[in-house]
């Protein structure tokens, strides 16, 4: 039985009154399907068609619902993750809670995990809690679709001292601000929630954010030139393209990838961020392992969706380098604690292996 603490439930239930969480019909959403289906020769089974009924995994899923998710939500509440969205939306007053520019994504990832559990273990109470969390996220989104709470709250005071402030404007410190990382996670999670529940309340938020990015970034007059410091928005946009059929999302994802390593587009971030040369010229898995594999996943999607041969050659070359020279027998990648990064070829220490799971899982 889920036993959410009173302060959390109070916030959630009051927000259900303030912001409607009812399902909406979004006229750009195509027939409900797997976001990973289009473009790939091997079609994954739609997650809604996978239901576990056994005596081993199903109890674990239910325990995740009743204990793990409850605990994660409780920690988000304690650490101010929900409060940041409320402050950004002027439902509360205060300063940014937390120490990292990517703290918003903790909320998104809980929604993702919880959404997936609902497939094999339907739980109306948990689903209502997720609707409440999505309502909180919506409050923190600016009218034009922008969503990164720390910058909305006070652009002159990032939560982390290593995020530079120049004029306090959006996108001015893309290398490290995580302003594209945050909506990237949001878009991916909104698609998972949509596929798991059939609701578009989170997908609507994601589409609004993605449309803002489409208007903002590019080479046309008045647009911002630049690429993410931390990749993931590319894969989010590509999945959203597959759900909606809107080619603007595909084009923007490719714009971000095409301009990596392009000094005429932005001041390069260097090898750590896989921004030292154009992606189609890269032959080795380098730099921050999570950034890297997010990017490689996006490049692979481009190959599947557009049959781009230059991208295909690059991802095959990088793949061969990674699995033959930079991967542990367990499948782990990213051997260096320093920078959570790939090392040199065959630099695979045992006792000090890093192998961060969110890199290895990709």
CB 182 within 8 A of CB 147: yes
CB 65 within 8 A of CB 196: no
Distance CA 353, CA 348 (A): 7
Q: Which of 94-103, 120-129, 293-302 has the lowest mean pLDDT?
A: 120-129
- What is residue 222's predicted lDDT score, i.e. its pLDDT? 96
In this structure, which long-range contacts are made by residues 62-65, counting pairs with CB atoms below 8 Å and at least 24 apart in sequence?
62/121, 64/113, 64/117, 65/2, 65/114, 65/117, 65/121, 65/123, 65/126
Six token digits for residue 343: 């090392």
Burial bucket for residue 157 (CB in 10 Å: 0-12, 13-18, 19+): middle
Model confidence pLDDT, tens digit, residues 236-279: 999 999 999 999 999 999 999 999 999 999 999 999 999 999 99
Q: What is the maximal distance between C-alpha atoms in the chain?
A: 60
Give the rounded percent of residues in the chain with a pLDDT score beyond 90: 79
39, pLDDT greater than 70: yes
Classify the C-alpha dihedral 247-110-361-64 as positive or negative.
negative
Classify the C-alpha dihedral 167-173-176-177 as positive or negative.
positive
- What is residue 362's predicted lDDT score, i.e. its pLDDT? 57
Q: Which of 10-24, 36-50, 83-97, 198-212 has the lowest mean pLDDT?
A: 10-24
Q: Higher model confidence: residue 10 or residue 280?
A: 280
- What is residue 30's predicted lDDT score, i.e. its pLDDT? 52
23, pLDDT greater than 70: no
Model confidence pLDDT, tens digit, residues 317-329: 999 999 999 999 9
Chain mean pLDDT for the chain: 90
Q: Higher model confidence: residue 61 or residue 149?
A: 149
Q: Higher model confidence: residue 223 or residue 45?
A: 223
- What is residue 179's predicted lDDT score, i.e. its pLDDT? 98
Six token digits for residue 207: 């589409």
16, pLDDT greater than 50: no
- What is residue 18's predicted lDDT score, i.e. its pLDDT? 41
- What is residue 25's predicted lDDT score, i.e. its pLDDT? 45
- What is residue 2's predicted lDDT score, i.e. its pLDDT? 54
Model confidence pLDDT, tens digit, residues 279-292: 999 999 999 999 99
Residue partners of 229: CB distance under 8 A and separation at least 6? 174, 175, 176, 177, 178, 180, 181, 269, 273
Distance CA 102, CA 147 (A): 11
- What is residue 341's predicted lDDT score, i.e. its pLDDT? 96
Q: Higher model confidence: residue 284 or residue 12?
A: 284
Q: Higher model confidence: residue 230 or residue 352?
A: 230
Distance CA 360, CA 326 (A): 12
- What is residue 22's predicted lDDT score, i.e. its pLDDT? 41
Question: How far does Cα 114 stand from its chain's mean position?
Answer: 15
Q: What is the mean pLDDT of the segment spanning 226-232?
A: 98
Q: Higher model confidence: residue 134 or residue 43?
A: 134
- What is residue 94's predicted lDDT score, i.e. its pLDDT? 97
pTM value is 0.90
- Helix intervals (H) in 245-356: 247-258, 289-306, 309-325
Distance CA 321, CA 348 (A): 13
5, pLDDT greater than 80: no
Alpha-carbon distances of 100 from 3, 104, 108, 314, rounded to whole Å? 29, 9, 15, 33
Q: With left for phi above 0 and alpha for psi between -120 and 50, is residue 42 left, alpha or beta?
A: beta
Model confidence pLDDT, tens digit, residues 166-217: 999 999 999 999 999 999 999 999 999 999 999 999 999 999 999 999 999 9
User: Nearest to residue 258, comparing CAs of 223, 212, 217?
Assistant: 217
Q: How many residues does the chain have?
A: 362
Q: What is the mean pLDDT of the segment spanning 20-46?
A: 56
Six token digits for residue 254: 């490719």
Q: Higher model confidence: residue 122 or residue 317?
A: 317
- What is residue 349's predicted lDDT score, i.e. its pLDDT? 95
**Confidence band (pLDDT; 50, 70, 90) for 14?**
very low
């Amino acid at each position: 039985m889920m036993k959410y603490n009173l302060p959390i439930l109070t916030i959630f239930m009051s927000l259900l009154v303030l912001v409607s969480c009812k399902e909406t019909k979004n006229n750009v959403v195509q027939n409900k399907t797997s976001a990973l289906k289009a473009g790939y020769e091997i079609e994954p089974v739609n997650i809604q068609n996978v239901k576990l009924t056994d005596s081993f995994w199903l109890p674990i899923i239910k325990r995740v619902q009743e204990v793990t998710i409850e605990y994660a939500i409780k920690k988000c509440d304690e650490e101010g993750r929900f409060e940041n969205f409320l402050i950004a939306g002027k439902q509360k007053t205060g300063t940014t809670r937390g120490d990292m520019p990517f703290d918003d994504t903790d909320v998104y990832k809980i929604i993702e995990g919880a959404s997936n559990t609902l497939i094999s273990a339907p739980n109306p109470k948990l689903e209502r809690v997720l609707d409440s969390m999505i309502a909180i996220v919506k409050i923190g989104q600016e009218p034009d679709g922008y969503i990164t709470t720390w910058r909305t709250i006070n652009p002159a005071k990032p939560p982390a001292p290593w995020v530079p402030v120049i004029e306090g404007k959006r996108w001015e410190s893309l290398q490290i601000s995580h302003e594209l990382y945050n909506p990237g996670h949001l878009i991916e999670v909104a698609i998972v929630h949509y596929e798991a529940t059939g609701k578009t309340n989170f997908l609507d938020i994601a589409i609004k954010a993605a449309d803002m990015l489409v208007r903002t970034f590019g080479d046309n007059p008045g647009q911002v030139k630049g690429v993410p410091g931390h990749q993931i928005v590319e894969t989010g946009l590509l999945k959203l393209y597959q759900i909606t059929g809107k080619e603007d999302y595909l084009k923007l994802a490719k714009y971000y990838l095409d301009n990596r390593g392009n000094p005429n587009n932005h001041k390069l971030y260097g090898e750590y961020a896989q921004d030292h040369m154009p992606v189609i010229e890269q032959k080795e898995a380098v730099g921050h392992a999570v950034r890297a594999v997010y990017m490689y996943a996006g490049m692979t999607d481009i190959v599947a969706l557009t049959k781009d041969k230059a991208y295909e050659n690059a991802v095959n070359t990088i793949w061969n380098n990674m699995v033959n020279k930079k991967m542990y027998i367990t499948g782990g990648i990213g051997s260096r604690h320093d920078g959570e990064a790939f090392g040199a070829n065959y630099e695979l220490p045992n006792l000090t292996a890093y192998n961060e799971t969110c890199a290895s899982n990709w």
